[in-house]
Amino acid sequence: MARPISTCFRIGLTLWLSSQACMVYGHKHEGNLTEEQLRAPIDSILWIHMALQAVVWGIIFPIGMVFGLSRSRWHVPTQSVGFALTLGGIFLGHVHGGRQFRHSTHGSIGSWILVPILAQLVLGIYLKLHINEETLRPYAVRVHGILGRLWPILGWVQSLFGVIVLRDLCGPNGAGQCAAHYIMGSAFIGYGVVLSLLFVLGENWVRRSGKSPEWWDSWVIMLWGIVNTFTEHWGGAWSVKDMQHTILGVLWWTGGALGIFLARNNQRNVVPALIIILTGWAMSDHSQALMLSTKVHAVFGYTLILAGVTRMIEVCFLPATPYTPGSLEDNDSEHTLSPSQAAQGIVRSQVMTPRAFRHLPPFLLVASGFLFMSATDEELETVHETGMDHVTYILSMYSLAFLLYLFTQFLFHLYVTTGQNANSVYPAGEIVFAAPLNGEIELTSPRDASKWYSRVPREEGPVHVVGEDDRP
């Protein structure tokens, strides 16, 4: 009975969204806005629009995506609520009073974003019907999954454009600098999130790929360096910044190529970490017009240097296993814990220092991304005019980094504790949830430290979950 009700709800929601889409696309932005309209106060409807979309795209949709990945029964309700709220938010963004805004990329995306939303809903309804199991359904599952994974990226991009419109940033004179700072800052944040994902959940995926993390890092660094080499100077006389940015591009593609070669045969190397350190040093000594800008760039550079140093330490000195020496041995092909081990409390209840240390490189990358995104000339001039000092501004960026990293770790935790992963085995990482005597859930890893990056067969023996029935 629950499935037909859910399907009917989705069909009704789709029809409602279609009607809202007509209203949104029918809205016409003002062609000629007066200075009074552009400087008017922000009304309550627009504040509700911003708050609603921030909650939906920043919290609800990522949680719903994780529920989908873990096959949780809460996936459909969470995403359905998110779809309904975001359409309401889009409508409010087109009918508000008070301050008006010129036509912008944020407004265009806000309308066209209805296309993937409706596509995702239609696919979800189709999958619930369980028809064409052998023909169309496999492709629909794949497209549905790809669209679902795009929500955090779409939300991030749209939020950035929203901030740009709200604060009237990135005009004709600052568009190039905004693009450079926002793209590179977002890249650092994304790098930190993916690196954290690999450390927390993706160890076995890395093993099965046959490539060390530095192989993937080096490819991204090299390709980005090639792009940067030819896009930082647009003709005319070479400025100091043009030369610095261009040589950084050369540094990245040459160093990235070396990193790819050294990472062959599944080997780890320190080249990506060294490139991060050199980039941080260059940014810390970047010439700036304002003292505030100089200090922000300096702290950004120091943060990036520290991220590279901690990554180098992780590569060179930390063992791969994240848990106590009581981890399962290689000869335990069944990946089980004996009743005697559980009774003695050898259920890997303590997380070793290496696991804690591995949060440093990705967090520092996230922090450096926020600092770099906040270091455009327009933003810092505005901050300077308000009288805010560099200490307050920098600590504000670090606070945002803490919040984002907290939410990221919460999503990882949600993935391994919900749906098909609850009290079972994480399929990609083979993490066992053992139920020790004190009743708390603990994670164990069956891999030995020396084989964290060794090749492993794709099919392995069954995994046993230790529970109450296994205790003597």
Q: pLDDT tens digits for 372-431?
A: 998 888 888 888 888 888 899 999 999 999 999 999 999 999 999 998 888 654 444 344
The answer, yes or no, to whether residue 298 has pLDDT greater than 70, is: yes
384 and 247 in a single domain? The answer is yes
Find the range with the poorest average confidence among 101-110, 217-226, 431-440: 431-440
The answer, yes or no, to whether residue 311 has pLDDT greater than 80, is: yes
d(CA 273, CA 271): 5
pTM beyond 0.85, yes or no: no
DSSP 328: P
357 and 246 in a single domain? The answer is yes
298 and 244 in a single domain? The answer is yes
The answer to whether residue 389 sits within a structural domain is yes
The answer to whether residue 472 sits within a structural domain is no
Cα 21 from chain centre: 29
Q: What is the pLDDT of residues 37-91, one digit of tens each?
A: 666 677 788 888 889 989 999 999 999 999 999 889 999 899 889 988 988 888 8
193 and 281 in a single domain? The answer is yes
321 and 246 in a single domain? The answer is yes
93 and 123 in a single domain? The answer is yes
Q: Considering 168, 202, 236, which residue would you say is the last residue of a domain?
A: 168
The answer to whether residue 445 sits within a structural domain is no
The answer to whether residue 272 sits within a structural domain is yes
Q: What is the largest CA-CA distance in the chain?
A: 80
The answer to whether residue 462 sits within a structural domain is no
164 and 233 in a single domain? The answer is no
The answer to whether residue 213 sits within a structural domain is yes
- C-alpha triplet 259, 447, 340: angle, nearest 5°: 165
d(CA 280, CA 471): 53
The answer to whether residue 467 sits within a structural domain is no
The answer to whether residue 466 sits within a structural domain is no
150 and 188 in a single domain? The answer is no
39 and 186 in a single domain? The answer is no
164 and 180 in a single domain? The answer is no
Distances (CA, A) of 71 to 75, 167, 246, 372, 428: 7, 40, 46, 37, 14
178 and 160 in a single domain? The answer is no
The count of structural domains within the chain is 2
Expressed as residue numbers, the domain containing 359 is 174-329+350-410
118 and 193 in a single domain? The answer is no
| pLDDT averaged over every residue in the chain | 76
Whose structure tokens read 């993490």? Answer: 431
For residues 301-319, average pLDDT: 91
Find the range with the poorest average confidence among 80-89, 291-300, 318-327, 380-389: 318-327
Beta pairing partners, 432: 425, 444
Q: Considering 360, 387, 410, which residue would you say is the last residue of a domain?
A: 410
Q: What is the pLDDT of residues 115-159, one digit of tens each?
A: 888 898 889 888 888 888 888 888 988 998 898 888 889 889 988
Q: Considering 365, 383, 410, which residue would you say is the last residue of a domain?
A: 410
- C-alpha triplet 165, 171, 176: angle, nearest 5°: 110
Q: At what angle do helices 271-284 and 213-229 cross, to 10 degrees?
A: 40
Residue 237 is predicted with a pLDDT of 81
